[in-house]
């Protein structure tokens, strides 16, 4: 349903822009959290592998 006047259309456009901006901020924060978690887990895995290197297959 189209807005009844220009002021409500402008208000709707402004609200959508604000919601989009907020969604982008939330998406970026989530992306950074995932990246930090991945880096932490990678560091833990590398440290664990350095302490106990995986067994290698013996050649015949």
Domain ranges of the chain: 22-51
Buried b / exposed e across 2-16, counting CB within 10 Å, b at 16+?
Answer: eeeeeeeeeeeeeee
N-terminal to C-terminal alpha carbon distance within the chain: 77
Q: Which pLDDT belongs to residue 57?
A: 74
pLDDT tens readout for residues 30-48:
999 999 999 999 999 999 9
Contact 9, 15 (CB under 8 A): no
Stretch 14-21: mean pLDDT: 96
Sequence-separated (6 or more) residues with CB below 8 Å from residue 12:
3
Please give the model's pTM, rounded to 2 decimal places: 0.63
Q: Which pLDDT belongs to residue 2?
A: 55
- Structure tokens that stand for 52 in this block: 């106990």
Give me the helices (H) in the chain, please. Answer: 6-51
């Amino acid at each position: 349903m189209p807005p009844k006047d220009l002021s409500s259309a402008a208000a709707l456009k402004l609200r959508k822009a604000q919601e989009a901006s907020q969604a982008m901020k939330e998406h970026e924060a989530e992306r950074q959290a995932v990246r930090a978690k991945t880096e932490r887990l990678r560091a833990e895995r590398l440290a664990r592998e350095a302490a106990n290197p995986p067994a290698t297959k013996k050649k015949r």
